[in-house]
Amino acid sequence: MNMIDEIESVQAAADCLYNEQQVEEAISRLASEITAQLKDRNPLLLCLMNGGVIFTGKLLTQLNFPLQVDYVHASRYRGKTAGSTLEWVHRPESVIENRVILILDDILDEGITLNETIKFCQEKGAEAIYSAVLVEKELTIQKSCRADFVGLVAPDRYLFGYGLDYKHYLRNAAGIYACSNEE
């Protein structure tokens, strides 16, 4: 089976956990929660690439207060469906010292990438560090960290859509989908 056939097969067999409207409502709720907590703090938002790009873009238009945006690119999956060692591709160029940081990511599963990003910000002297994730996966194992703001909760299945990918594909799916149990 070629890659396009595989992607189409995965998408056709997937279960929609949250449709586009439900995801957009979760992002709006998160925007309200974040605004209430950070509107007077001049935060630096760090988008965790590539997964966090859609969530960050949708969220930014609803945060009507002074802020700056930069990005971090760290990867554990590199086109696979299981994570491995963390690879830093890009660290933020903005000054982190004495800043309030809000890290934005698509998903919190084991928390390894988010935890390492938090440690990086601590080492750079951040005043305070918050994190927001679009989806938190329900796991039976203990996570490396917790998110301060969580949009949606999903079962422990492989997910795609709204930034979450399946082998670098399906980030653009308009909803949060779980691969069938056969994947």
138 by DSSP, 3-state: which? coil
Q: What is the pLDDT of residues 67-122, one digit of tens each?
A: 999 999 987 665 555 556 778 888 899 999 999 999 999 999 988 889 999 999 99
The amino acid occupying position 179 is: C
Q: How far is CA 170 from CA 53, 156, 162, 176, in A?
A: 13, 18, 8, 10
Q: Residue 82 has what pLDDT? A: 57
In a domain, 9, yes or no: no
Sequence-ordered list of residues with C-beta below 8 angstroms from that of 106, at least 6 positions apart, any chain: 48, 51, 52, 54, 55, 133, 134, 135, 162, 163, 164
| pTM for the predicted model, two decimal places | 0.91
Mean pLDDT of 26-49: 98
In a domain, 87, yes or no: yes
Q: Residue 85 has what pLDDT? A: 75
Q: Residue 144 has what pLDDT? A: 76
CATH number of residue 102's parent domain: 3.40.50.2020
| Res. 1: pLDDT tops 90 | no
For the chain, how many structural domains are there in total?
1
In a domain, 75, yes or no: yes
Q: Does an H or E element contain 56, and which?
A: helix 52-60
Q: Residue 112 has what pLDDT? A: 87
Q: What is the pLDDT of residues 3-29, one digit of tens each?
A: 999 999 999 999 999 999 999 999 999
Q: Please choose, from the candidates 63, 61, 146, 165, the residue with its C-alpha nearest in 3D space to the C-alpha of residue 106.
A: 165
Q: What is the pLDDT of residues 135-166, one digit of tens each?
A: 999 987 877 789 999 999 999 999 999 999 99
Q: Residue 107 has what pLDDT? A: 95
95 HSE (CA, 13 A, CB side): 4
70 by DSSP, 3-state: which? strand
Domain extent for 112? 23-157
